[in-house]
């Protein structure tokens, strides 16, 4: 990772009590076969993680915060400091091989209409995670919570994630999930980053919706990353926050069933 020259690629990871697992993600960046500039925003400082990052990962730009800025707010923090042509949004629990980033940049270089590139996302067992790829609607939100009931909920979920479509080749989609997305830095600036009103959920859907006004979003199944996502029990404040973000998204883009 270079701190002296202007890299083609930059990346940002936003932390919130993420633990040492982020060191695995940072290691993937360090072992990548492309020069890049890595920014890490810590929304919950006070522990020893920052010290570990700065000691074990020289060149990482670390931003400890005194309050939780949220997902979008954390990523927006580094926007004025970016010098790259392409910028990667990454979760702290994502890992990937050393050629993924250079392959994604090469695809963007040869496909100028592509504003955002989204990879195939696997879980730690190698199963593809069914990521939403259509813009959120009321029925899709219901399906996300009630798909285990089967019937129309299962069908709506498959529609939402394009599980009912052939996406074995690069495919234009409506949404790129924020766990790992590559965006042109100039486009991210043009869009003024994430809408800070979306604290966590639907921040990526809103960014995608706005990005479609200036270019295309492509899902590429040959670009593969692993999301070592840990399932957590959601408490009442988090459930209410997710519900509020869903309502905020629908208020902004329309209450379409």
The answer, yes or no, to whether residue 2 has pLDDT greater than 50, is no
Cβ-count burial of 21 within 10 angstroms (0-12 exposed, 13-18 middle, 19+ buried)?
A: middle
Q: How many angstroms from the chain centroid is the CA of residue 223?
A: 14
- pLDDT at residue number 56: 77
- Look at 40-54, 100-114, 213-227 and tell me which has the smallest mean pLDDT: 40-54
What secondary structure does DSSP assign to 31-63, as a single string? TSSS-EEEEEEESS-SSSHHHHHHHHSTT-EEE
Residue 236: count of CB within 10 angstroms of its CB: 7
Q: What mean pLDDT is predicted for residues 141-153?
A: 89
Backbone φ, ψ for residue 94 (5° rounding): -110, 135
What secondary structure does DSSP assign to 224-247, as a single string? EEEE-PPP-PPPHHHHHHHHHHHH
183-237, pLDDT tens digit by residue? 999 999 999 999 999 988 999 999 999 999 999 999 999 999 999 876 666 677 7
One CATH from 3.40.50.1100, 3.10.20.310, 3.30.70.1060, 3.90.550.10 for 9-131+165-233: 3.90.550.10
Average of per-residue pLDDT values in the chain = 91
167-177, pLDDT tens digit by residue? 999 999 999 99
What SS3 state is found at 249? helix
What SS3 state is found at 15? strand
pTM value surpassing 0.75: yes
Q: What mean pLDDT is predicted for residues 56-70?
A: 88
Instruction: Tell me the C-alpha distance between 127 and 2, whole Å.
Output: 34
Per the DSSP assignment, residues forming a β-bridge with 181 are 89
In the chain, what are the domain boundaries?
9-131+165-233
The answer, yes or no, to whether residue 118 has pLDDT greater than 90, is yes
Instruction: Tell me the C-alpha distance between 101 and 194, whole Å.
Output: 22
Instruction: Tell me the C-alpha distance between 83 and 1, whole Å.
Output: 13
226-240, pLDDT tens digit by residue? 998 766 666 777 778
The answer, yes or no, to whether residue 4 has pLDDT greater than 60, is no
């Amino acid at each position: 990772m270079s701190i002296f020259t202007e890299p083609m690629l930059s990346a940002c990871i936003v932390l919130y009590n993420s633990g040492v697992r982020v060191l695995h993600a940072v290691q993937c960046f360090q072992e990548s076969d492309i020069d890049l500039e890595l920014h890490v925003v810590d929304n919950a400082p006070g522990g020893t993680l920052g010290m570990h990052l700065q000691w074990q990962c020289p060149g990482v730009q670390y931003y400890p915060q005194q309050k939780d800025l949220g997902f979008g707010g954390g990523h927006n923090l580094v926007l004025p400091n970016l010098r790259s042509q392409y910028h990667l949004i990454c979760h702290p629990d994502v890992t990937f091989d050393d050629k993924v980033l250079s392959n994604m940049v090469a695809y963007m270089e040869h496909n100028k209409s592509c504003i955002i590139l989204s990879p195939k996302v696997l879980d730690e067992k190698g199963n593809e995670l069914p990521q939403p790829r259509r813009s959120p609607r009321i029925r899709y939100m219901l399906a996300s919570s009630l798909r285990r009931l089967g019937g129309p909920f299962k069908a709506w979920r498959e529609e939402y994630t394009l599980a009912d479509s052939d996406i074995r080749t690069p495919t234009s989609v409506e949404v790129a999930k924020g766990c790992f997305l590559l965006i042109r830095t100039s486009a991210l600036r043009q869009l003024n980053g994430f809408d800070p009103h979306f604290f966590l959920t639907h921040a990526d859907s809103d960014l995608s919706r706005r990005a479609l006004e200036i270019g295309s979003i492509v899902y590429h199944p040959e670009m593969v990353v692993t999301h070592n996502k840990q399932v957590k029990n959601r408490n009442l404040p988090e459930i209410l926050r997710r519900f509020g973000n869903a309502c905020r998204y629908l208020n902004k883009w329309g209450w379409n069933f």
